[in-house]
Structure 1
Amino acid sequence: MEKLLEVNNLKVSYHTYAGEVQSVRGISFHLDKAETLAIVGESGCGKTVTSKAILRLIQTPPGEIKKGSEINFDGKDILKMSKRELTDLRGGEISMIFQDPMTSLNPTTKIGHQIAESLIIHRGLSKNEALKEAVKILELVRIPNAEKRANQYPHQFSGGMRQRVSIAIALACNPKILIADEPTTALDVTIQAQIMGLMKDLQNKFGTSIIMITHDLGLVATVADRVQVMYSGLIVESGTTEEIFFNSKHPYTWALIKSAPQLNSKNKASLYSISGTPPDLLKPPVGCPFAARCNYCMEACLEEMPQSTQLSDTHAVSCWLMHPKAPKVESPLRPGGVE
């Protein structure tokens, strides 16, 4: 597969009155053409910060992308791009669907004009041409009565329809990469399935690469080609969807999968939850960040950060349990990622 995006040693910090919060602490990954990469983890683990860093949307101050970080897109270093180059990149080459469409859409501007704006900037269309094209794009994302709806405002749309509009704006210029930050949050299950089906259809049609940021493992299992698990600003495990769900090796990955509701659970069975809280990133621990919450914690886990172990060409994990001298631990999950 051809690599479209490469992120190397990405570090992002926020400078606060209390000190430097190390939100992302040196992560590296890549995205291939026409694939879907899912980034999963608890709230605050650095998923959204990573996605914003790719588009240089980290507000400075208080945020800072640290020296030594690299984000290479199609052979170009995004961190060295000029303002003009970034304008062409955002929306034209890489687009983002934000978590809450009601806050990302302009409440005072008609939907058609919001889509047309991107077409005018990136494709050089006239206003009339862009508005006609906006109607076609609304039809593409399956919004009924598209011509009429293009003249309406965001508050006149349901949550699912607003999300479709966000997808329409993101796909207006046929970007090479689509970043979807929790695209189905607050939507019911039926609408979630429709939105994800729509994104998959559009990916198949245009060959778009997708970075999916989510905590919904059911969603990941359905749409992702590869998965990377983030915790405390680090990638603790990465692999194909099959490797993560059927052969995961990190205790945090096990805990995430166990905490997802199971269809075969009894009605009164209590949901599994991960005890404790993530570490304070003002003062990150010297050892494994998951050590204080891990049922398999050893002395080495508290004293030193584990190195990444390559289990296959696609599967890597950072855990002291992979050390040759560590005790052998069997996964607490049954095949398929179910207890």
Structure 2
Amino acid sequence: MNKVLEVENLRVSFHTYAGEVQSVRGVSFVLNKGETLAVVGESGCGKTVTAKAIMRLITTPPGEIKSGSKIICEDKDVLSMNEKELRCFRGAEVSMIFQDPMTSLNPTMIVGKQIAESIVIHRELNKKEAFNAAVKMLQVVGIPNADKRARQYPHEFSGGMRQRAMIAIALACNPKILIADEPTTALDVTIQAQIMELISDLQQKLGTAVILVTHDLGVVADVADRIQVMYAGEIIERGTTNEIFYNPQHPYTWALLQSVPNLSTDNKSNLYSLGGTPPDLIKPPIGCPFAERCEYCMPICKEAEPAVTKISETQEVSCWLKHAMAPKVEKPKILNKNI
């Protein structure tokens, strides 16, 4: 497959009054043309920071993308781009759907004009032509009465329609990569399914590669080709969707899967809850970052960071349980067939 994005040893820190917060610590991955890569993990694990780093949206200061980090998009070095090059890169090469459409959309500007702005920049159309193109984009994302809606303000849209408008803005210039950061946050389950179906349909039509950032494994089950699990700023497991759901290897992945309700869950039963809290990334732990919360923790887990173990051609994990000398443990019974 043709790779459209390559991230290597990405490290991002934020300088605060308390010290340097190491939000992303050595993340590396490849995104191939037309595929959907899901990045999952709980809040604060570094998912959104990774996504914003790819877009060069880390505010400096207090943020800093560390030297040695590499972000290559179709042979272009993103981290060496100047402001003019970034304006061409954002929107035309890579676009992003942000978490909260209400705060991402300008409340003082009609929706059609907001979509038309990026079209004027990247497609070299005049304002009238760009507005007409914006109306067509609203039709593409399934908003009825698009001509009327394009002349309305964000507060006149429902949550689902605002998210559709954000998708229209992101896809207006046919980018090669779409980053969707928690695209279903604060939407009810029915609208969530519609938004994910819309992103999937548009991806197939346009051939866009998608990075789907989410904490909800249930959202990615039907749409992702590959999944990488993040914890404390690191990727601790990666594999195809089937491998992560049906053959997970890391105890943190087990915990994520156990916490997802499914059709066989009894109404009176309690959902699994992972105890403890993530580590302080001002002073990251020496060993495995998950050690303090892991019920399978061994002394070595707190003394040295685990090496990456290859499970298959497409799956790898960072866990001492995969070491040849580690004791054999039985995986929890994860009922994920109905997720």
Q: Deviations over 1:75-100 (max 9, x none)?
A: 11100111111100101110000000
Q: 3-state SS of the aligned residue for 2:204?
A: helix
Letter paired with 2:58: I
Are 2:87 and 1:109 equivalent residues in the alignment?
Answer: no
Tell me the CA shift for residue 271 of structure 1: 1.1
Aligned to 1:60: 60
In structure 2, the partner of 1:297 is: 297
CA distance in 2, matches of 1:275, 1:190: 30
| Equivalent in the alignment of 1:239 | 239
- Between the aligned partners of 2:269 and 2:336, the Cα distance in structure 1 is 20
Q: How many residues end up aligned between the 2 structures?
A: 339
Is 1:42 matched with 2:42? yes
Other-structure match for 1:327: 327
Q: Is the 8 A contact 2:10 2:68 kept in 1?
A: yes
Tell me what 1:122 maps to. 122
Cα distance, 1:220 vs. partner?
Answer: 1.0
Deviations 1:103-152 (A, max 9, x none): 11000000110011000001110001001111111100010000000000
User: 1-side partners of 2:34 and 2:185: how far apart?
Assistant: 24
**Distance in 2 of aligned mates of 1:312 and 1:267:** 37
> In the superposition, relative to structure 1, how do residues 29 and 337 fare at CA in structure 2: closer, same or farther (>3 Å)?
farther
CA RMSD of aligned residues (A): 1.1
Give 3-state SS (helix, strand or coil) of 1:223's partner: coil
Taking structure 2 as the reference length, the TM-score comes to: 0.98
SS state of the match for residue 52, structure 1? helix
What SS does the aligned partner of 2:67 have? coil
Aligned-partner SS, 2:21: strand
Residue 216 of structure 1: CA displacement? 1.1
2:265 counterpart SS class:
coil
Contiguous gaps of at least 5 residues in structure 1:
none
Match of 1:145 in 2: 145
DSSP 3-state at the match of 1:22: strand
Percent identical: 68
5 Å-filtered alignment, 1:167-206, equals 167-206=167-206
CA contact (8 A) 2:264 2:338 kept: no
1:220 aligns with 2:184: no
In the TM superposition, what is the alpha-carbon distance from 1:333 to its structure 2 partner? 2.8
Deviation digits for residues 225-282 of structure 1, max 9, x if unmatched? 0000000000000000000000010000000000111221111101110000000000
**Amino acid across the alignment from 1:62:** P
Look up the match of 1:312.
Answer: 312
Q: Is the 8 A contact 2:263 2:338 kept in 1?
A: no
> What is the CA–CA distance in structure 1 between the aligned matches of 2:10 and 2:191, rounded to whole Å?
34
Which whole-Å deviations, capped at 9, do the CAs of 1:169-209 have from their partners, x for residues lacking one?
Answer: 00000000000000001111111111111111100100000
Contact 1:99 1:185 in 2 (8 A): yes
Number of the residue aligned with 1:264: 264
User: Quick check: 1:134 aligned with 2:134?
Assistant: yes
Provide the secondary structure at the position in 2 that maps to 1:190. Answer: helix
Counterpart CA distance in 2 for 1:157 and 1:176 is 28
Q: CA deviation at 1:310?
A: 1.2
After TM superposition, what 4+ stretches of structure 1 lie above 3 angstroms from structure 2?
334-339
Deviation for aligned residue 1:2: 1.1
Q: Given that residues 227 and 240 in structure 2 are in contact (C-alpha distance below 8 angstroms), is that contact kept between their aligned partners in structure 1?
A: yes
- Contact 1:257–1:338 (CA<8 Å) still a contact in 2? no
Inter-CA distance 336–189: structure 2 relative to 1 (3 Å threshold): closer
Question: Which residue pairs with 1:161 in the alignment?
Answer: 161
Normalised to the residue count of structure 1, the TM-score between the two structures is 0.98
Question: In the aligned structure 1, how far is the partner of 2:331 from the partner of 2:254?
Answer: 7
State the alpha-carbon separation in 1 of the partners of residues 329 and 188 from structure 2.
38
Partners of 2:281 and 2:37 lie apart in 1 by 25
Equivalent position of 2:15 in the other structure: 15
Check whether the contact 1:257–1:337 (CA below 8 A) recurs between aligned residues.
Answer: no
- 1:330 Cα deviation from its structure 2 partner: 2.3
Shift of 1:338: 7.8
